[in-house]
């Protein structure tokens, strides 16, 4: 089983899945926020990281059934997604 807890882990997951399924608007918004963490004044960096974490949570909570099916078909592993150390989604691959 793979656990996805950080924004970096979620970014890697999305980039992997982009090869198999079209990303939805929530995922694109997350990637935009992630890619802009280092942009601008460093005094606002913590706020940008916080906003990116919220986009990650929003993206996970709104993951489409077709995307979840694609995860099961292509990654062939159980996945747990976390926000603030609390599991918010579990994708069980089941028996192959």
Alpha helices in the chain, H assignment, sequence order: 7-17, 25-35, 45-61, 65-75
Instruction: Say what the pTM is.
Output: 0.91
Q: Which residue has the higher pLDDT, 51 or 96?
A: 51
**Alpha carbon distance 87, 80 (integer Å):** 7
Predicted confidence (pLDDT) per residue in 42-92, tens digit: 999 999 999 999 999 999 999 999 999 999 999 988 999 999 999 999 999
Residues 6+ apart with CB under 8 A from 82: 3, 4, 5, 88
Report the distance separating Cα 86 and Cα 95, nearest Å: 26
pLDDT value for 1? 87
């Amino acid at each position: 089983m793979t656990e996805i807890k950080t924004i970096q882990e979620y970014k890697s997951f999305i980039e992997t899945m982009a090869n198999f399924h079209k990303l939805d608007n929530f995922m694109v918004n997350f990637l935009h926020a992630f890619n802009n963490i280092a942009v601008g004044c460093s005094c606002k960096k913590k706020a940008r990281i916080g906003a990116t974490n919220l986009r990650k949570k929003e993206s996970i909570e709104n993951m489409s059934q077709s995307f979840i099916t694609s995860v099961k078909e292509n990654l062939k592993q159980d996945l747990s997604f976390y926000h603030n150390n609390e599991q918010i989604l579990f994708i069980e691959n089941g028996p192959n």
